[in-house]
Structure 1
Amino acid sequence: MTGDLAGRTIVVTGSSSGTGAAAARIFAARGATVAVVGRSPRRTHAVAEEIGASAHVADFARLADVRRLASELREAHPVIHVLAGNAGGAIPATTATEDGVEPNYQVNALAPILLITLLTPALQAGNGRIVSTSSRSHKGATLDAARVGAQLDDVRGLTPHRRYARAKLAALLLHRAYATRRPDVPIADFHPGIVATDFGRYLGTLGAVAKVVSAPFLASPHTAAERLVHLATTTDPIAGGYFHHTIPAAPNPLALDPRLADAVWADANARLGHALDRS
């Protein structure tokens, strides 16, 4: 399929290593114009140079970085055909970011929905779509529409994994709320599998040992990337969907609650200075 994506512009966040880097390589090999987005300047530029792509460095723990990133991308690529949202991860820190937000919520949900909002005009211009890397861990998370803001700020007694799972549920809800407001930009979430590069990251030494023992049963970054690329390029409908690998699946029932989605949207909009009103 080399060359079949010629003329398509694809932005891949979290693409300085792992699944995101593998996806960027596949997109580039198929002829797409790729924007590599990552937190590490060295790794981001290395991947971009390797595949002949543009490099964009941003830390999602700083909302100013996200706004600058969006401005850079809009200037370089006024038409975007795919936004592949792969940035994120479990963050051990319990101290709020400089923006006053619990780190897992900001990096996995708040910063991505801000980027999505700011890139919406470019996605509309390209009849584009959004594919976001989720996690099945969200199925164990809970949120209450009556106290969403307080819950998303709460770190008491919660492991990084539990805060990550909660943030991924919030991300799903934000994406469903976005879908109702912008039905012209299809958005889908998918669980790529437990990927060898990420497994055990929450568990310190125990996680490192588990990763080695379980390695034969884990998805490779390339396999996970192929699943992302499939959803980014398939002609099958993906709008509003949640996928396990590439197969439609049932998310946490809370992710389908429109009242809860509106509550999370309102919380995010307030934290972002009502930037989402422009989506």
Structure 2
Amino acid sequence: MSTPRVIVVTGASSGIGRETARAVAERGDHVAVVGRNPERTHSVARECDGEAYVADFDRFDDVRMLGEQLLARYDRIDVLVGNAGGLISEWKLTADGHERTLQSNVLSPFLLTQLLLPRLQATAALADSAPGTVRVLATASMANQWGKLALDDLEWAERPYRRGWPVYAAAKLAVVMWIRELAERLTGTGVDAYSVHPGTVATSFGGTSRLVRFGNAVLGGHWGRSALSGAEPLIAFSSTLPMQAPSGTYFSRFRPFGGTGAQAADPALRRELFDLLAELTGVGPV
């Protein structure tokens, strides 16, 4: 009997993360359910016959503890599905002194990925790991196309916040760029990396945004696709099905090479961003 694949899903206490975790379990993989809300996270883990891990991505200490727990528990990690994050409508700092949108969408996912990379690489070297099936998946957004990165103001302290929309777009552009650079640095390791736009999903995303609340009110709560529909790309890409594009690709749902902000095409800027993220998260040179 083969060893079950292990899939780590962050942001899994609700929405597309929950649907991804449930589908992963239904196909026979073991799922590590990561969420911020203890009650909901444990509830989803019970639904999935998986294991719950509670971590607040607004706190690096939580992310580091999560990494330690996952490495201590699992001898193999086949896929990391990074789905934590969201839209924050007011400029606030985390306990670590970073703007919340930046930390939850970019810094903490980057930190967790770097902590788990040695185990992902070791899994790729196992005899029962088919080539190309060990992956890092990061939830991005079509909003990345309108993102404008300023490496000297990632915290958005010097630019208009505008209810968080330009900040969110820039954060998702940073995800696309970080994943593309990560894929370059993982060449030859057996670990691939992709960023994915799940579609416009009617979940708790943007719950603090007046624009999102208005859209839901006007459309009677039917704004966007269902959480299950939104989860479909993450469900498919976390399986052993072959990917239809090279590592580093940004997918707009199932379509590879989706639209990206102009800065994503700048390899020097991608390298500079990656090194800055490593510095800000304290992982050191990568």
Moved more, 27-36 or 191-200: 191-200
| Corresponding position of 1:152 | 155
TM-superposed deviation, 1:121: 1.1
Matched, 1:251 2:251: no
Q: CA 1:201/1:162 → structure 2, altered by over 3 Å: closer, same or farther?
A: farther
Equivalent position of 1:174 in the other structure: 178
Instruction: Structure 2: give runs of 5+ residues left out of the alignment.
Output: 125-133
Gaps of 5+ in 1: none
Deviations 1:81-108 (A, max 9, x none): 1101110001234232121211111110
2:100 corresponds to? 103
Question: For residues 24-50 of structure 1, what are the alpha-carbon distances to aligned partners after superposition, in whole Å with 9 as ceiling and x for unaligned?
Answer: 000000010100000000100010012
The answer as to whether partners of 1:83 and 1:130 remain within 8 angstroms in 2 is yes
Question: Residue 189 of structure 1: which of 188, 192, 195 is its match?
Answer: 195
Q: Which residue among 273, 276, 281 is the counterpart of 1:264?
A: 273
Q: CA deviation at 1:154?
A: 2.2
Greater helix proportion: 1
Find out whether 1:114 has 2:120 as its counterpart: no
Q: 1:210 to 1:40 in 2, by over 3 A?
A: same
Using the alignment, how far apart are the partners of 2:281 and 2:95 within structure 1? 13
Greater shift after overlay, 211-220 or 162-171? 211-220
Shift, 1:78, TM fit: 2.4
- How far has the Cα of 1:6 moved from its partner? 6.7
Instruction: Give the distance between the partners of 2:266 and 2:222, measured in 1 at CA.
Output: 37
In the aligned structure 1, how far is the partner of 2:284 from the partner of 2:13? 27
Residue 49 (1) aligns with residue 57 (2)? no
Judge conservation of contact 1:149–1:267 (CA < 8 Å) in 2.
no
| Distance in 2 between residues matched to 1:197 and 1:221, nearest whole Å | 6
CA apart distance, 1:266: 2.3
Give the secondary-structure state (helix, strand or coil) at the position aligned to 2:58. coil
Task: Return the offset for 1:191.
Answer: 0.7
Shift of 1:155: 5.7
Q: Report the Cα distance in structure 2 between the residues aligned to 1:114 and 1:45, rounded to whole angstroms.
A: 23
In structure 2, distance between residues paired with 1:6 and 1:23: 20
Distance 1:45 1:199, change over 3 A: closer
Identify if the C-alpha distance between structure 1 residues 90 and 216 changes in structure 2 by more than 3 Å, giving closer, same or farther.
closer
User: Is this contact kept in 2: 1:104–1:163, CA < 8 A?
Assistant: yes
Q: Count residues in correspondence.
A: 270
RMSD of Structure 2 on Structure 1 (CA): 2.0
Q: Percent identity?
A: 38
Alpha-carbon distance change, 98 to 187 in structure 1, aligned in 2, over 3 angstroms: same
DSSP-derived class of the 1:201 partner: coil
Aligned pairs for 1:1-279 within 5 A: 7-127=4-124, 128-144=134-150, 148-154=151-157, 156-158=159-161, 159-183=163-187, 184=189, 185-198=191-204, 201=207, 203-204=209-210, 206-214=211-219, 215-216=221-222, 218-233=224-239, 234-236=241-243, 237-248=245-256, 249-273=258-282, 275-277=283-285, 279=286
